Amino acid sequence: MENCRSEPPITLLPQHGLANLAFLREVVSVKLWKWEQESLPSLVHSIRTAVAASLSLAVARLFGLPEAYWAAIATLLVMQSTLSATVLISIAATALGALAGALVATYFPGNALVFAAAVFVLGLLCAAFRMERSAYRNAGVTFAIIVLIPRANAAWIIALHHFFEVSVGILIALALVAVWPERQAESAKQNVE
């Protein structure tokens, strides 16, 4: 097969070591490798997030949840947020999305108009309950996962499992934040950047 590209591919070969190093230094600016004091909060946050996500995955697997990866994904999302949404609101929004998803997947499978209407109603419900947009995001994503991903089990079982998986992730992330809080000076400095 002939190469259709007009430019030769960039390769990282030992004989081109200095040129490649200059290229990488120019293209990839990584503060962490400079080991500056200002890089420390990013390093600590990365460690905290990795610990929390791994712990969530382990706990979800320990409980035998079928899609334990959702616990880790939920943890990653919570750890990257500002934590302005409370635990109860996040869990309630996930429950709302799971309930709506189970209803729509059971009684209106594959109906795009009902899907659109349900997403709209979820938004109205979140606004009526004075939940933040992050709650609507949680409810909407949970709803879409349950309705749009075909599975062999009943929608109610999928919804219940997803609710537990995401709740484990949220609770583990918030427990880790309580046990290992970010230092305020680091957080404030990160938010300014």
DSSP 23: H
Note down the domain range covering 113. Answer: 41-183
The token pair at 112 is 């795009």
pLDDT digits (tens, 9 = 90+) for 65-99: 999 999 999 998 888 776 655 678 889 999 999 99
Give the count of domains, the chain.
Answer: 1
**Residue 75 lies inside a defined structural domain of this protein:** yes
pLDDT digits (tens, 9 = 90+) for 133-173: 888 988 999 999 999 999 899 999 999 999 999 999 999 99
pTM over 0.95: no
**Residue 23 lies inside a defined structural domain of this protein:** no
DSSP for 43-109, written as a single string: HHHHHHHHHHHHHHHHHHHHTT-TTTHHHHHHHHHHHHS---S-HHHHHHHHHHHHHHHHHHHHHST
Q: Which amino acid is at 27?
A: V
**Residue 3 lies inside a defined structural domain of this protein:** no
**Residue 20 lies inside a defined structural domain of this protein:** no
**Residue 16 lies inside a defined structural domain of this protein:** no
